[in-house]
Amino acid sequence: MAKFIILLFIVSLTILLNSCGTDSGEGKPVNIYGGSGRANSFEDFGSFYYKYPVIDKIEFRDSSGAISAPLVLPNSDIIISTVKGNILLISQKQVRWPFKLDSTELPSASLAADANMNIYFISSAGKLYSISKDGVLNWKKKVIDSVGRFDIFSDLLAQDNGVVTAVSNGKIVKVGFDGSIKWIYSANLSPTKTFAADEKGNLYITLTNDEFGATDTLLCLSPEGKVVWKKGFENTRFIKSPVVFNNKIYLFGITESGEQKISSIYSLDEKGKMLWEKEILLFARFISVDKDGRVYITGYNSGIGEAMSGVFCFSPDGKLVWKKYFEVIIPSAPMISKKYIAFVVSDKNAVGVYFTKKDGTLYEVVSMENMPLLYLQPAVTSSPLIIFSGAEELCLVSIDAPPFDKFLPW
């Protein structure tokens, strides 16, 4: 009987581990938001099944908090950039190495890594840094000249043959892995904070006037930095990156109608042809797309009174599948796993994570009210484990399984 129980435990554990997925992203560039398409899909890793917030204090002489989202490498090492200008690789809850930026410089956007795990970040002085997976400087190069006081750098995007960076003054630059500048494109509008790419290396960048009522533009650049096409959207303001998945582009824009701001959701093909357009009455904030092509939009209207957010699920052909409303704010993009979707939520009192099934049913609520102040853009490991970095102190907070559940075979 004892042998049978042990055998059952081993078989059950094997099934559980296999169900968690195996594609850790080895041998591919690493970008935030789930990859270069920015789809926020982590379905290849398996399903979120964790319910318990765990804090790990990280011991290091720089105890300041994170200045950008954590970057998770395929081996689950975590890169943190701090408020005091250190880049840290954290492995097994320990700082394996630090890298200090030049004095007076700070990291200015989310990081990226190439397939060989060289890590790239842009500084407040417009310098692009490349450091090895061992924390050694490969090179640094001034790639953005004449950085203004209020200029904002876009999150880096690593591709197969280089890294793309941009700044709100309109400069878009691709730099090779050896530090050479491959091309520079000068736009007459500001690139938004993040942009995306397809599997062929084409870039999709939203350009904005930074005001309502103007005509913002979706720009498609080839891997060589040439304009493939661009499309203007009248009376539309873009505030977020497009998502690219399966040769389709998804994005949203905000239009004004009288005193009301309406969010329009767009789906285009890779040539810029409009496939469908839908409206939601909430101010759209984030967009994610799962492997089946379902589109998840979160939105909320800021103002006086109780917080109210909406989550809208559209089919690949633009039909509303479901919508749910929650009396909270959803401050970051939905994270999609095989079975569940995770939403970071906040209200006046606390931060937490909602887990819903893909039909919109609320499955689990994880409160993080006893955790320190967090940087509210988390990352996902290949476990898959959702992790946050501390905003005011050096720590990591993960949504883990309760200790007892780790010993159960189901």
Residue 180 lies in a domain: yes
Residue 4 lies in a domain: no
Q: Assign residue 146 the CATH number of its domain.
A: 2.130.10.10
The position carrying tokens 């998945």 is: 245
Residue 357 lies in a domain: yes
Beta-carbon contacts of 302 under 8 Å, excluding residues fewer than 6 positions away, are 283
Query: Which amino acid, residue 155?
Result: D
| The two structure tokens encoding residue 12 | 């059950």
Residue 340 lies in a domain: yes
> Does the pLDDT at position 5 exceed 80?
no
Strands in 222-339 per DSSP E = 227-233, 236-237, 243-245, 248-257, 260-269, 274-280, 284-289, 295-300, 309-314, 320-326, 335-336
Per residue in 390-402, pLDDT (tens digit) is: 999 999 999 987 6
Res. 13 pLDDT band, cuts 50 70 90:
very low
Residue 63 lies in a domain: yes
| The two structure tokens encoding residue 58 | 């990280």
Q: Which domain holds residue 211?
A: 26-407
Question: What local confidence, expressed as pLDDT, does residue 350 receive?
Answer: 83
Q: What percent of the chain has pLDDT over 70?
A: 91
In the Cβ-directed half-sphere of 131, how many Cα atoms lie within 13 Å?
20
102 versus 190: the higher-pLDDT residue is: 190
Residue 323 lies in a domain: yes
The position carrying tokens 């169900």 is: 19
Question: What local confidence, expressed as pLDDT, does residue 400 receive?
Answer: 87
Distance CA 50, CA 386 (A): 9
Residue 8 lies in a domain: no
Total domains in the chain come to 1
Per residue in 110-152, pLDDT (tens digit) is: 999 999 999 999 998 899 999 999 999 999 999 888 777 778 8
> Does the pLDDT at position 19 exceed 50?
no
Q: Rounded to whole angstroms, what are the CA distances from 341 to 19, 57, 246, 358? A: 16, 27, 20, 7
| The two structure tokens encoding residue 295 | 């589109």
Chain centre to alpha carbon of residue 115: 18
Residue 5 lies in a domain: no
